[in-house]
Structure 1
């Protein structure tokens, strides 16, 4: 169960068959219902194992669901459900997508996991938006794309098992690459574009219980790309005048002082630095874990005039925020406060 401003409460159920069902085939799927929009969403897919040593699978799926506009998604992450992800609570701009997908998933390249796929999508923005394509306004469109998404963990240790290669010792840095290419003139594809996405993660734990983390993300979109498939750099600030009205749930890697739909980019780079200190003993059940955080982002937008029906700004001058998190103050609950550089606002 989750909540967002468009669907209301989203309740659903999903799963994937285990090896007790079959070691050669698997079936996965989910269904969900939004109490506010009153629409069922669902996905159903199946795959067949074509390689035990490399844990390779070939499969296909169909999905009819909604997604936040301009949100960066790495297919290799493969996590449809999250136990705790509070950021979508305040998201209200979504698009509906119907995906017909064929894919190959493999670990044949040492210390990598990759997904190679082709997707035919029908896209319907669920807000007043049109894209100006050579003088023609398009408010619903189709996309046919080829994509490779690859996770590379060069310093991790792996163990070969009869059913594939397992990561037994996770080490950093870790790198994720993703390349998307539209396929013109195939299945009524409306757009010609390509996208390159990159993510680098680094963590270091110290013997005294402290931990440092670095997250670098970048994206480059070239060609005719509607705003649904561009970049918003994960904003998490409500569009309210007073600070007290902007109190909300913080995200894990989101910009807490950036308003929803304030900035969009066709090219961007984002850097996040975190350092967590030892937990501070205040009382037996009150032991907060302080974390200092700094985030920054730069970006540009090609042909902003092509996006009709939505107002936004761009990131040529950069965006900067810093703050303090007091995590796990009491039973997992905490408090955070962030300040936005050069702007007369702050979010708490």
Structure 2
């Protein structure tokens, strides 16, 4: 019997066939945010849960590996650059704060336009996730316009007001300078306050130097940034937790990854939503206690003043619904989805928001 001989070229072809498209690969991806680890909860859960869990599950359940290079604190993209960085592939994955994208992500700032919403991040996430699921245009917006896919929602714990000065009534804010991320500055309309758009990286210095006299911020970061040192008065107003961040991935990156890897990234990202919301609620409670221990003066806005403030803002959701429609979305449907979901969750607003 004569044995067939394999030529070198045939051997190479056979070897490549065995390796095939399913060969084990290591994918190195860059993930980043404009906020830093430490004072901001969603970045901490990115570092502590999202990144290691993706790497772990891919290694355990596929023949591939994913290595995520973390670039937080604006090291690759600042707060107002992250969406564009993901679009261009500077970042493969990015945590985008929609509040710093007032034009490109106006509609995704939905929570900011429904004042005095749930102070619990877990409840706010459940409501907001339902809105996104019922209104797919909210997610499709990023794929259609910015070459990226929304993987998860995240955000911030309950917004309150921290100031250098003492105050008891909404009218007491008149003549003072307060800072905010941008979309939330609308909460101060009619107060006579000078509003300044600024962000977490600059709050301490801006208060210290007199650019602002306080800000609207959640307790976890108010403590984490040590703002009580320069603005010791922290007033609980319960404006609400805000799910106004998105974890996005570049579509070209997504297309290059094997399906089993993308499935795991999507799976972990959705779990990251809940992990972060639960962490936000814990950090909110801990933040208040830590502020007290640090010597901050913690007070609560009276129910009467909170009600009066809410009544001043009663027309905001309806007005924004019209703006959403002008931007090409079904504004009334989005706001009604939110209000219906909040009602189903058992949450009651201090005023009835009318959506035409």
Structure with more helix by fraction? 2
Structure with more strand by fraction? 1
Q: Which has the higher contact order (CA 8 A, sep 6+)?
A: 2
TM over 0.5: no
**Superposition TM-score, scaled by structure 2 size:** 0.21
